[in-house]
Chain A
Amino acid sequence: MVRLIDLPEYERDHLLEKNMPPLGPLPWHNNAKPLSAKRIALITTAGLHFRGDNAFDFADPTFRPISIDDDANDLIMSHSSANFDRSGFVEDVNLVFPIKRFQELLADKTIGSLADVHYSFMGAGLMPKVYEKSAMQVAGLLKQDQVDAVFLTPV
């Protein structure tokens, strides 16, 4: 469990070192569309990509696209951190990248639609500011895809 109180002191100290101030003025956006009309995209920082894609480097602010037409079961992971569990992802891609769950939400009309393309970053080794250029690029791509909301998953 990631309750700091349950962790050894070295682990607690390490995670607390990752506390950062906000990147700037706090962003806020409202969208009056009901969830059943919203177009959703998934973004993960789990370092996922397909075998033919370039693996993530030690410290790498770039991103990889995951098309809705691709089979998410073919996703693999190249992440620089040795400090999170991989065995759950081995069992089920949806534990980290819940595309099948969102396809089910689409089928039962809980959400309006799913983006054509979803995205994966590798969240390790760099300060948040370094991701700005890639984040802006993905924001533009999401806008082009008419996405209303993004669901974010870390590891």
Chain B
Amino acid sequence: MTTGISLVRENAESMQPPRSLWVPFPLGRPLGKPNDKAFQHRVIAAALALLERTTGPVLEDYPEDAPTVSIEESAACPVSFGDTQAEATTWAARLVSELTQMQPWYDLGKRRRNGRSLVGVAGEPMQTMLKKLGELLDSDTLPTAELKWFKLAIEDAKVFYIEALTAQPGEYSAQAIEQILWHETHLGAGLRVFYERFTATPKLAIMARMVASREAIGGSTGEEIEINDITKKEK
């Protein structure tokens, strides 16, 4: 038997899993609030209680919103984006320069989290990956022969920046972090260029959806289609 969390009520309504607890939390946060043991236990208890139901399907609404942090209340971004980056004439130089500003904050965040970091899916040093992404941007090319590497590299780069931007203790607005990442960093600017290039390349347009979020672009990033085709291409 199963019980579980649903983040989009309408999806659970349509698919009708046996026992489901809809929670009014942001995508990516099924238990509501990080590091809040009591809050997480309340959510789990409500979902486990559904195991006692003897008829179904059951779709129950969780009554408590997760505490939110507004953009205005968000802890300050610690990184100072200096002029040295702006003077760099190439993407590669700008990204490597930005990395030197991010690195101490990333290291600090990692120490605060007792050594925990999500960076490492691509298995390459951050500087190597950012330099390569910058060179692709500088040469106006797409990594058509290395799409899987590209996906993992940008996943690592984004999470490296998130960890750096949230290095200090405090309550962060996920939206504020997204805004800084996408609109104040060279990485965000570079990824938006990749997004545009993928979008303009019909055979690779579906890659664009993996590069940038709808929130970053401010609109739809493409139709909801299966992405089998692209994996077949790479294989």
Contacts and interface: CB of A to CB of B under 8 A. Distances in A.
Interface of A: 1-4, 10-11, 13-23, 26-31, 35, 38, 51, 55, 57-59, 73-74, 76-96, 98, 101-102, 104-105, 111, 124-128, 148-155
Contacts of A30: 1, 54
Contact of A155 (B30, B44, B148): B30
Interface stretch (B32-40, B86-94, B97-105): B32-40
Top 6 closest pairs, chain A to chain B, by CB: A152-B4, A84-B28, A85-B28, A92-B34, A84-B27, A91-B34
Contacts of B40: 94-95, 98, 101
Interface SS majority for chain A: loop
Given A1-B25, A80-B210, A85-B28, 17 more contacts: A2-B8, A23-B15, A57-B148, A58-B231, A76-B119, A77-B118, A78-B155, A81-B209, A86-B118, A86-B159, A94-B40, A95-B32, A151-B4, A152-B4, A152-B5, A155-B7, A155-B28
B10 to A, nearest CB: 6
A94 B210 CA distance: 25
Interface residues of B, number: 85
B28 A15 contact: no
A127 B24 CA distance: 24
A95 B231 CA distance: 30
Contacts of B210: 58, 80-82
A111 B44 CA distance: 12
A2 B23 CA distance: 8
A79 B121 CA distance: 10
B35 A26 contact: no
Contacts, number: 230
A77 to B, nearest CB: 6
Contact of A128 (B9, B15, B151): B15
B18 A83 contact: no
24 contacts: A2-B8, A2-B25, A4-B9, A14-B224, A26-B56, A35-B48, A59-B230, A76-B121, A77-B155, A80-B151, A80-B227, A83-B215, A85-B28, A87-B174, A98-B31, A101-B41, A105-B44, A148-B1, A151-B4, A152-B2, A153-B5, A153-B31, A154-B7, A155-B30
B139 interface: no
B85 interface: no
B172 to A, nearest CB: 6
B127 interface: no
B213 interface: yes
A94 B31 contact: yes
A137 B138 CA distance: 46
B3 interface: yes
A149 B1 contact: yes
B152 A19 contact: no
Nearest to B216: A82
B11 A85 contact: no
Contacts of B148: 57-58
Contact of B44 (A1, A98, A150): A98
Contact of A14 (B55, B114, B220): B220
Contact of A83 (B1, B119, B213, B227): B213
A76 B57 CA distance: 33
